[in-house]
C-alpha cells in the first residue's frame, strides 16, 4: 500500500506530504484548493502521461514521490529488483521508493528504488499497485473493452490462464495464417516466374546454342558474303606461288632455282651449302602454302549461297535469344544455368504451403475450442457478477436497480476471444435494461463503478484504490450509502478518496484537508496561490465536515450535524472491526 506521498511544485501545491496508511483516507478541500493534484501526483507515479502545464507557475520542475509498503513476496518487488531497484526491508514488509519528476519544458524522469528507470516501467508496476478511478473512468466504463476487462477480472485466475493460453494460440494462428496468405500470394507470383523460366529454358534448349557459336557464325557469314573477292585473292596468291610461265615463273620455281645454284657451289664453301638448305626449307613452306590455298579455293567452291542462307537462318534464331536474355550466346548459356537453379528453388513452395495449411488448420481448431471455453466461463461469471453488483447497488440506495451482463458471440475470433461484453442497467423497477453509456446518469455510473470495484476487490484486489470524486452527482441517502461501501471496501484494500461529500468523508480512517493559501501568492508578488495539506485530528474533522455541510465550520448547528455523521459512521466502522484490513 501507499505509505506516504510527497508533492513539490505541482499545480497550486508548493510542498506537501500526505501521510497514508491502511483503511480509508479521504482528501477534502474547497474548489480550486488543489485536491486534484493528489490524483495527478498518483497518476505521475503510475507512469501516466505528463503535462508540463501541471508544473507550478514559476517553478523549474515538479516532483512526486511515494513510499510503498509491500509484502516481501509481492511480484512488484521482483520486477523492481530486476530493474536494479534498492528495496529497504522493514518490519514484516519491504519498502520501495518511487519518484517522478517533470520539468516545465515537459521532460520527465522516473526512479524506482533509487535507480533511474523508464517511465513505462512505472506504468507496469503501477498496474499491480494502484487502481485509479475518476470521472474519466466512468466514461471508460461505457466502453465494451472496459466492461470485458471488469468481467474477466471477476472470472478469476483460472479464466486468466485460459485467456493467456488463448491469446498465445491466437497469435500463433494469426501468424501462420498471415504467412500462408503471403506465401500463396507470393506463390502466384512465383508460379508465374517459374512458368516464364520454363518457357525460356525450353526455347533455349530447343535451339541448343553452343559456346561462341554466335561469333563463329558471324565470321562464316562475313566470309561467304565476300566469296568472289576471296576466291580472286586466293587464286592470285596461288598463281604467284606456282606460276609455270617461263617469263614470269612462280615463287616456288624461283626458290628451287636458287637452291640448286647454291647447292652446286656448296661443295666449295659450307656457308653456301647452309644457304642452300635454308632455300630448301623456303621451298617446302612455299609449297605447303600453295597447297593450303588450293584447299581453301576448293572449300570456297563447295560453300555456296545455300550455305550462307543456312548460316543467316541460324543467326536469326540465335538473335532472338540475344534480344531476350543476354547480349552474347555465352551469357545466354550462363543465364540459363542460373535460371535452372532458380527454377529448382521455386519448386519448394508447394511443400511449405502444405505445412502452413496444416498448421493453420490445427491452430484454428484450438483457437475455436479455447474461445468456446472463454465464452462458457464468461457466461457463468457474467451471471454471478450481475447478481453481486445488483446486490451492491441495493446497498448503494438503488434498491430496484439491476445490472445485466450480456455475453454475445462475434462472427470471428479476436485478441480476447469471440465475445463482446455489454453491461446494461435497469435503474428502476420495470425499466428495460439499457447500455451504461445511454441509460445511466453520472451519479448512477458512479455507484455502478463503485459496486463493481467492491465486488472485484474480493476476488482480484490491487493493494490500493484511488477514487477521484466518483461520488459526483449523488447526495442524501445515496451519498451515505457510498460512504458505507467505501468503508467496506477499505476493509480489504487501501482506499484513498477525493470527495466533496461530508457523508463520504465521515467514514474515513484518516482525513486530509487541502487548504488554499491566497496570501502566499500575494506576498510573493507573482499573482498565484498556494495550498497547504493538513492531516486533521478529530476536532478539525468536525469543523471540516461542518464546512462541507453548510459552509460554516464554526456553526454550532453544522458542527452538531457533523458530529452526528461521524457517530453514525463510527457505528458501521465498529461493526466491521472484525474484518481484517487489507494491506
| DSSP secondary structure, 154-198, as one string | HH-HHHHHHHHHHHHHHHHHHHHHHHHHHHHHHHHHHHHHHHHHH
Within-domain flag for 276: yes
Within-domain flag for 255: yes
Q: What is the pTM of this model?
A: 0.62
Within-domain flag for 253: yes
Compute the average pLDDT of residues 346-365: 84
Return the higher-pLDDT residue of 87 and 476.
87
Please tell me the predicted confidence (pLDDT) of residue 522: 44
Q: Taking CA 544 as the corner, what is the angle to CA 543 and CA 545, rounded to the nearest 5 degrees? A: 90
Is a pLDDT exceeding 70 seen at residue 581? no
Coil, strand, or helix at residue 401?
coil
Contact 87, 77 (CB under 8 A): yes
CB atoms within 10 A of CB 48: 17
Please tell me the predicted confidence (pLDDT) of residue 529: 61
pLDDT in tens, 393-406: 888 878 888 999 99
In order, the DSSP letters of 83-98 are TT---EEETTEEEEEE
Q: Rounded distance, CA 409 to CA 371, Å? A: 10
Please tell me the predicted confidence (pLDDT) of residue 363: 95
Dihedral class, residue 476 (left if φ above 0, else alpha if ψ from -120 to 50, else beta): left
If residue 419 lies in a helix (H) or strand (E), which one and from where to where? strand 417-426
Coil, strand, or helix at residue 280?
helix
pLDDT in tens, 27-72: 988 876 677 788 888 888 888 887 888 888 888 899 999 998 888 8
Domains held by the chain: number: 1
- Looking at 156-160, 192-196, 306-310, which range is the least confident one? 306-310
Please tell me the predicted confidence (pLDDT) of residue 247: 72
Name the residue with cell 488448420: 361
Please tell me the predicted confidence (pLDDT) of residue 527: 52
Contact 470, 502 (CB under 8 A): no
In order, the DSSP letters of 483-502 are HHHHHHHTTTSEEEEE-S-H
pLDDT band at 164 (very low <50, low <70, confident <90, very high): very high
**Chain centre to alpha carbon of residue 57:** 38
pLDDT in tens, 506-535: 999 999 998 877 654 444 445 556 667 888
Q: Rounded distance, CA 186 to CA 183, Å? A: 5
* Alpha helix positions (H), 1-134: 35-45, 75-82, 119-126
Compute the average pLDDT of residues 532-539: 87
Is a pLDDT exceeding 50 seen at residue 582? no
Within-domain flag for 272: yes
Within-domain flag for 274: yes
Contact 165, 331 (CB under 8 A): no
Question: How confident is the prediction for the chain on average, in pLDDT?
Answer: 84
Please tell me the predicted confidence (pLDDT) of residue 517: 72
Contacts of 451 (CB under 8 A, 6+ apart): 389, 392, 393, 396, 403, 485
Please tell me the predicted confidence (pLDDT) of residue 521: 47
Q: Rounded distance, CA 270 to CA 290, Å? A: 30
Coil, strand, or helix at residue 64?
strand
* Domain range enclosing 303: 213-327
* Alpha helix positions (H), 246-348: 251-265, 270-302, 305-324, 329-346
Q: Minimal CA–CA distance to 11: which of 43, 56, 42?
A: 56
pLDDT in tens, 447-472: 788 888 788 877 766 788 888 866 67
- Looking at 179-183, 283-287, 317-321, which range is the least confident one? 179-183
Please tell me the predicted confidence (pLDDT) of residue 237: 87
Is a pLDDT exceeding 60 seen at residue 547? yes
pLDDT in tens, 253-297: 888 888 888 888 877 788 888 888 898 899 899 889 988 888 877
- Looking at 127-131, 366-370, 563-567, which range is the least confident one? 127-131
Within-domain flag for 160: no
Q: What is the DSSP letter of 517?
A: E
The span from the first CA to the last CA of the chain, in angstroms, equals: 6
Please tell me the predicted confidence (pLDDT) of residue 583: 40
Q: Taking CA 574 as the corner, what is the angle to CA 571 and CA 577, rounded to the nearest 5 degrees? A: 155
Please tell me the predicted confidence (pLDDT) of residue 226: 67
Within-domain flag for 76: no
pLDDT band at 388 (very low <50, low <70, confident <90, very high): very high
pLDDT band at 225 (very low <50, low <70, confident <90, very high): low
Furthest-apart CA pair in the chain: how many Å?
167
Within-domain flag for 297: yes
Please tell me the predicted confidence (pLDDT) of residue 528: 57
Please tell me the predicted confidence (pLDDT) of residue 519: 55
Return the higher-pLDDT residue of 179 and 169.
169
Amino acid at each position: 500500500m501507499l505509505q506516504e506521498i510527497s508533492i513539490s511544485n505541482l499545480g497550486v501545491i508548493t510542498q506537501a506530504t500526505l501521510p497514508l496508511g491502511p483503511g480509508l483516507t479521504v482528501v477534502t478541500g474547497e474548489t480550486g484548493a488543489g485536491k486534484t493534484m493528489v490524483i495527478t501526483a498518483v497518476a505521475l507515479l503510475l507512469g501516466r502521461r505528463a503535462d508540463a502545464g501541471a508544473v507550478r507557475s514559476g517553478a523549474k520542475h515538479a516532483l512526486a514521490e511515494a513510499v510503498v509498503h509491500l509484502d516481501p513476496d509481492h511480484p512488484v518487488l521482483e520486477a523492481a529488483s530486476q530493474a536494479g531497484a534498492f528495496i529497504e526491508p522493514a518490519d514484516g514488509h519491504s519498502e520501495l521508493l518511487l519518484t517522478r519528476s517533470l520539468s516545465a519544458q515537459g521532460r520527465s524522469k522516473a526512479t524506482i528504488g533509487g535507480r533511474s528507470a523508464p517511465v513505462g516501467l512505472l506504468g507496469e508496476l503501477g498496474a499491480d499497485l494502484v487502481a485509479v478511478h475518476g470521472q474519466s473512468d466512468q466514461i471508460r466504463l461505457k466502453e465494451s473493452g472496459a466492461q470485458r476487462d471488469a468481467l474477466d477480472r471477476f472470472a478469476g485466475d483460472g479464466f486468466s490462464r485460459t485467456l493467456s493460453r488463448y491469446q498465445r494460440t491466437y497469435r500463433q494462428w494469426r501468424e501462420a495464417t498471415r504467412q500462408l496468405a503471403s506465401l500463396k500470394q507470393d506463390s502466384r507470383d512465383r508460379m508465374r516466374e517459374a512458368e516464364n523460366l520454363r518457357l525460356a529454358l525450353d526455347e533455349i534448349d530447343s535451339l541448343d546454342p553452343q559456346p561462341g557459336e554466335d561469333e563463329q557464325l558471324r565470321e562464316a557469314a562475313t566470309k561467304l558474303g565476300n566469296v568472289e573477292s576471296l576466291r580472286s585473292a586466293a587464286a592470285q596468291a596461288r598463281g604467284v606461288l606456282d606460276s609455270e610461265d617461263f617469263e614470269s615463273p612462280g615463287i616456288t620455281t624461283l626458290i628451287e632455282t636458287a637452291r640448286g645454284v647454291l647447292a652446286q657451289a656448296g661443295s666449295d664453301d659450307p656457308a653456301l651449302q647452309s644457304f642452300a638448305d635454308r632455300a630448301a626449307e623456303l621451298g617446302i613452306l612455299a609449297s605447303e602454302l600453295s597447297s593450303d590455298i588450293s584447299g581453301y579455293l576448293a572449300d570456297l567452291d563447295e560453300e555456296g549461297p545455300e550455305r550462307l542462307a543456312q548460316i543467316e537462318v541460324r543467326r536469326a534464331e540465335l538473335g532472338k535469344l540475344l534480344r531476350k536474355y543476354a547480349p552474347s550466346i555465352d551469357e545466354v548459356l550462363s543465364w540459363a544455368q542460373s535460371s535452372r537453379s532458380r527454377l529448382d528453388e521455386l519448386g519448394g513452395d508447394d511443400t511449405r504451403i502444405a505445412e502452413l495449411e496444416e498448421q493453420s488448420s490445427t491452430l484454428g481448431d484450438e483457437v475455436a475450442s479455447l474461445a468456446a471455453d472463454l465464452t462458457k466461463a464468461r457466461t457463468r461469471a457474467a451471471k454471478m457478477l450481475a447478481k453481486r453488483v445488483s446486490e451492491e447497488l441495493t446497498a448503494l440506495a438503488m434498491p430496484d436497480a439491476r445490472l445485466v451482463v450480456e455475453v454475445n458471440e462475434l462472427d470471428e475470433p479476436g485478441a480476447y476471444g469471440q465475445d463482446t461484453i455489454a453491461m446494461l442497467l435497469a435503474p428502476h423497477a420495470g425499466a428495460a435494461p439499457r447500455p451504461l453509456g445511454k441509460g445511466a446518469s453520472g451519479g448512477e455510473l458512479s455507484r455502478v463503478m463503485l459496486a463493481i470495484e467492491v465486488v472485484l476487490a474480493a476476488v482480484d484486489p490491487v493493494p490500493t484504490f484511488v477514487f477521484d470524486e466518483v461520488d459526483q452527482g449523488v447526495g442524501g441517502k445515496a451519498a451515505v450509502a457510498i460512504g458505507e461501501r467505501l468503508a467496506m471496501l477499505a476493509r480489504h484494500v487501501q482506499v484513498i478518496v477525493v470527495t466533496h461529500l461530508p457523508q463520504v468523508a465521515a467514514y474515513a480512517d484518516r482525513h486530509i484537508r487541502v487548504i488554499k493559501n491566497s496570501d502566499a501568492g500575494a506576498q510573493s508578488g507573482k499573482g498565484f496561490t498556494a495550498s497547504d495539506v493538513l492531516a486533521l485530528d478529530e476536532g478539525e474533522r468536525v469543523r471540516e465536515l461542518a464546512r462541507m455541510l453548510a459552509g460554516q465550520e464554526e456553526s454550532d448547528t453544522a458542527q452538531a450535524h457533523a458530529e452526528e455523521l461521524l457517530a453514525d459512521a463510527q457505528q458501521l466502522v465498529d461493526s466491521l472491526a472484525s474484518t481484517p484490513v487489507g494491506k
